[in-house]
Amino acid sequence: MSAMKWWGWGDDTVSFTHEDKPGLPPFLKHAIGVDVTRDVSRPVAFAQLRIPDSGVTASLWLALERAVGGDGLSTDAHDRVVHARGKSLRDLARHRRGELGRLPDVVVRPADEDQTAAVVLAAVEADAVVIPFGGGTNISGSLEARADETRPIVSVDVGRMNRVLEIDEISRLARVQAGVFGPHLESQLGARGWTAGHFPDSFTHSTLGGWIATRSSGMQSDKYGDIAELTRGLRVVTPIGPLAIRPVPSRSNGPSVREMVLGSEGRLGIITEATIHVHRLPQCRMILGYLFPSWGDGVAAMRDLAASEVAPALTRVSDAPETAFSFATRKAPTVLDRVKSGALSGYLRGRRGFDLAAMCLSFVGYEGSDRLVTAQRRAVGRIFARHGGLCVGRAPGVLYDQKKFDTPYIRDYLLNRGALADVSETAAPWSSLLTVYDRVMSAAREAFDQLGATGYIMCHLSHSYHAGACLYFTFGFKPSARREPLDQYDVVKSAIQQEFVDSGATLSHHHAVGTEHARWLEQDISAPAVAALRALFEGFDPGANLNPGKIVSDDLPSERVQGTGPR
């Protein structure tokens, strides 16, 4: 893997282009008023960044050097800039402009749990701030230090702890170091015939520890579970000593400490190791595309599928705007493709009565033995037929599988063209999903109107559960030059997030709280729950050294437990 861009998403050598996607330029022009030929904004050159000297004291440096050795410490400018933030739109927009915020003073790379413990001890003794760093891909403001932080900041990059230590083949559990990146985890497991089955869109650049610390979800969560389900055992270095959760399948020993570590965003300690579920590599894997006449039909089909016993690995349906976007990002079709798609459009309109503008694209992923996959495909076909669904074969699924790790590069491409694009996602019960969807779409459109901007919002349903599913919204618009772009972004993002909690959904299904979503936490989980979280953080970290200000902002006094509960 080549180095991650300091100013954007992904490998330095890869970028998004419209050159091979003839439908995209007219789509972007119409949807958000972007002329793709006009590259209007570029990140400042690294050499032009104003990087303050590291504020690490001589005594802290010595203590850290004793902990990890000289080669595990860095005050290199690029290292400090990369470790300062994650990859939220706000992070990218400010980094590109050279507004770096409060940089870490030193990046430390411990090689094992003992070194990690020595780092935490040294930092806490020096009253420094410790910010654990995995892949730096979070989009929730979970890494950035407070701008007014006066204590030295130690970014603890866990990337050297990257090995699968042991596979218990009988229990189907793997003991894995927390700094392993997705591809390296899968290659180590795959070499022995196993998979963890956790594939977030950020898979290539995110780590096991980061997934756990943000309660991540992968695209095949319908089969394998979210990281919260597939994490059994944990080892965490905390300021009050090592925390160890045994990897038992279930337990009845009070409120779950395992659950407290999940989603803790570095506030309790540094996760050094986890024991996770693993599965045998599937004999057969396939993603099929389906079309539904409308969003309502697609959602109803997903609900019926979740209520059935079929349990495919991946279920997803896009609304009509996202379906239009997917078609616009297709590569140039061959003559045969054109003939086929003309015939399909004719069939859908003429024989099936589809309104092509309302049509919704869906994917279902199947994994397992050949026999299981065949039986699942038949069962899904029967359920979808009840809702007007039509299987369109493997081609769209193959394309989706290929594109899924490339699409993230589009945000930088749009920023270069003066447009802002981002995501907000939530989860809600089946009975209210369509209402949440309608209310969020209206709220976003009102926000675009308020800004006088041509905006686009689209959505898909994914990650289905017994009781509901995740709704994942993507929005984009071109901000006016007369007002700070990030203020305009906040108008849209806040309108969407507020509508989530106002309509009974949650502030995020899998992107964590960080600082980005902390404003809505009390409305989501109630004031006593926020007070309990604050007390938890204070209990583990009495000096507020560990990633302060994330999840629960520390400017609110802990005794404040009055207030509105979740609506």
Ligand X SMILES: Cc1cc2nc3c(=O)[nH]c(=O)nc-3n(C[C@H](O)[C@H](O)[C@H](O)COP(=O)(O)OP(=O)(O)OC[C@H]3O[C@@H](n4cnc5c(N)ncnc54)[C@H](O)[C@@H]3O)c2cc1C
Which positions lie near ligand X, rule CB under 6 A? 9, 86-87, 131-139, 142-143, 158, 178, 200-202, 206-207, 209-211, 213-214, 216-217, 265-266, 270-271, 408, 510-512, 547, 550
Instruction: Compute, in degrees rounded to 10, the torsion defined by CA atoms 21, 27, 29, 35.
Output: -10
Closer by beta carbon to ligand X, 93 or else 512: 512
Cα(26)–Cα(28) distance, integer angstroms: 6
Q: Which two tokens stand for residue 533?
A: 């979280």
Closer by beta carbon to ligand X, 112 or else 169: 112
Shortest distance (Å) from residue 37 CB to ligand X = 25
- Looking at beta carbons, which pairs linking 23-29 to residues 24 or more positions away fall under 8 Å? 23/327, 23/328, 23/329, 23/330, 24/328, 24/329, 26/328, 27/324, 27/325, 27/328, 28/328, 28/419
Shortest distance (Å) from residue 294 CB to ligand X = 26
Cα(537)–Cα(264) distance, integer angstroms: 9
Q: Which two tokens stand for residue 314?
A: 């991946």
Closer by beta carbon to ligand X, 221 or else 376: 221
Cα(381)–Cα(375) distance, integer angstroms: 10
Closer by beta carbon to ligand X, 200 or else 468: 200
Residue 323 contacts residue 456 (beta carbons within 8 Å): no
Closer by beta carbon to ligand X, 212 or else 457: 212
Closer by beta carbon to ligand X, 133 or else 384: 133
Closer by beta carbon to ligand X, 145 or else 291: 145
Shortest distance (Å) from residue 156 CB to ligand X = 8
Shortest distance (Å) from residue 208 CB to ligand X = 8
The residue assigned the tokens 């400017």 is 555
Q: For residue 217, which of 136, 362, 315 has the smallest C-alpha distance?
A: 315
Cα(41)–Cα(204) distance, integer angstroms: 27
Select which of 366, 400, 472, 489 is catalytic. 472
Cα(71)–Cα(73) distance, integer angstroms: 6
Residue 447 contacts residue 495 (beta carbons within 8 Å): yes
Helix (H) or strand (E) holding 123: helix 113-125
DSSP letter (8 states) at residue 475: E
The residue whose Cβ lies closest to ligand X is 210
Say which residues have a Cβ less than 8 Å from residue 448's Cβ, sequence separation at least 6: 454, 455, 457, 477, 492
Cβ neighbours, 10 Å, residue 66: 11
Shortest distance (Å) from residue 211 CB to ligand X = 4
Q: In b/e form, how buried is each residue of 405-436, taking b as 16+ CB within 10 angstroms?
A: bebbbbbbbbbbbbbbbbbbbbbbebeebbeb
| 472 catalytic per annotation | yes
Closer by beta carbon to ligand X, 313 or else 390: 313
Shortest distance (Å) from residue 564 CB to ligand X = 27
Alpha-carbon torsion (527, 133, 73, 237), positive or negative: positive
Shortest distance (Å) from residue 237 CB to ligand X = 9
Shortest distance (Å) from residue 247 CB to ligand X = 17
User: What residues act catalytically?
Assistant: 472
